Structure 1
Amino acid sequence: MESRAFVAARKGNVSSKISKTRTGYGFFAKMIFASRWLQVPIYAGLTVVRAICAYKFLKSLKHLVMNLDVSDENAIMLAVLNLIDVVMIANLLTMVQIGGYESFVSRLRIDDHPDRPEWLSHVNAPVLKVRLSMSIIGIHPSICSKHLSIPPICRKSS
């Protein structure tokens, strides 16, 4: 036998009296739902991190251009990899910030904006997770390659 409250809930006829009988459910549900706004300072902090990435990119680019004549081919390649890393990390931060805010905090309400990213129209938690994973997989080899330099004694002499 089903209880009257269960039957009413299944039919969509839940009265406020029945829903209030669950001790503290309404308070905890509202508290958990409202706690999503605690992520806003974190997403705002990612804006600062993206500014740091832009500064680091410009500083590395300036260093590459200023030392182009005295740098060997390996140093130039490592500098280019460094620039690509910074760009990919900034893209990852953008994806986390915009996609995470849109998925977990609130709608951005930018549907009519001409610069709205196309991928944002179908972003949700599983899609965001796959995109982030693919970005991390793309960033990881270039970071590892910078740390795996071959010692001079092991290089072929020409």
Structure 2
Amino acid sequence: MKTQFNNIYQNHYEKVYRLCLGYVNGDEALAKDLAQDTFVKVWEHLDQFKNKSSIGTWIYRITVNTCLLFIRKNKKGSYSLPEIREDDTNVVEVEKAHQTRLQQMYACIQELKETERIVILLVLEGLAQKEIADITGHSHQNVRVMVHRIKEKLTKCVTHGI
């Protein structure tokens, strides 16, 4: 079982981490903690996995639940990215512009309803809409409509501000 877990961890850690990162608005340390919590749960319950879905779907569901539980417990819901330090030798204008766009996108994602946030973070991870439907419990058609509407909301938010 240890070898199986190590393979699962290696194959899914980066995706789980990025999903957590989206929930905590880019806070890397907190995302790492949540990813670690997720894999502790995966380890504890690996023997209960029944192959009703792919292992990736099962892990994403655990990740989403772990992140939502954290957010509800802390009742913060909004996180800010670490500030860029002004260091003339290391920070260039392109990096600052990228960081600003990233902060704006995370802020817009945080403004979404919980279900919308789950869906768009899974889309950003590259999951198929069918798999997102399995994870969220919505119909495939409903997920398709949601993705379209969420993208419209995010486009408006990013281009016009919050």
Relative to the length of structure 2, the TM-score reads: 0.31
Higher gyration radius (CA)? 1
Relative to the length of structure 1, the TM-score reads: 0.31
